[in-house]
Amino acid sequence: VAGDAAERGIAIHAALREVSEKLRPRAGSEPIDEASIARVLDAAASTALSAYRRLPLALQRSERGRLIALLRDWLQIEMARPKYRVFATEYDTTLLLAGILFQLRIDRIDRIGPADQLLVIDYKTAAISANALIGDRPEEPQLAMYALSLPQSVAIAFGQIRSRDCRLTGWSDESTTMRTAEVRLNAPPEEYRGKWSALREHWSDRLEALAVEFRSGVADVNPRNASAWPNWASKPRHWPT
């Protein structure tokens, strides 16, 4: 496999940014001819390959083919979506929690629906579930932070970029839900009364509390699944001072 995990992540993000920007005027609206798609994907693969520090020539051709196939898989999902518009890629924003100003960079923001509402997308090259955003200690808090930094957002989603397993999955306002084989934008779970506003309020409260812990230097061992870590959960920890 070419490069390490960090390099592969940087490479695919760079390629996705280029695809989004070059196809931005037409995505989700007018059909795009195959020749244009091929040119964009080839250029995006070249951009991605430049992210590798050292890639032997023998691997460059196979890696280019892998990247183009992966981008084409993702593009099939993009083209099947209802009309949308890419509003921004790698969008810089901030969020203040417990007096800490977090500097954030959002992978992508789309405008969706007749009201041009905002969908926030975070690309992932590993398998991911929308449930990673649910609970008192979300496993993937950054996407919730992105949503809070954009009060006008009505949906968030992970863009899972994996060979033969690309998908868009997340949570949305009731007016922008979508459910197909590869796109799942669901209304929030019943514990939030199915309301986007209630889910946002939960994120705000919980992330504020976690930021307070961080600022206060709290470092207790507190696994999400305590039953899987009985030794940690049952024994007090004495840290060296």
- Predicted structure pTM score: 0.86
Of 24-28, 138-142, 146-150, 237-241, the least confident: 237-241
| Mean pLDDT of the region 223-237 | 55
pLDDT band at 228 (very low <50, low <70, confident <90, very high): low
Give the pLDDT mean for 52-67.
84
Instruction: Work out whether the CA dihedral 62, 33, 107, 142 comes out positive or negative.
Output: negative
Cα(167)–Cα(186) distance, integer angstroms: 14
Mean pLDDT of 64-77: 94
DSSP track, 68-100? HHHHHHHHHHHHHSSSEEEEEEEEEEEEEETTE
Q: Per-residue pLDDT averaged across 116-139, rounded? A: 95
Give the residue-averaged pLDDT of 71-96.
Answer: 93
Question: Highest-confidence range of 32-46, 52-66, 146-160, 226-240, by mean pLDDT?
Answer: 146-160
The pLDDT value given to residue 231: 62
Provide the b/e sequence for 56-94 (b: ≥16 CB within 10 Å): eeebeeebbebbbebbebbbebbeebeebebbbbebebe
Name the percent of the chain lying above pLDDT 70: 86
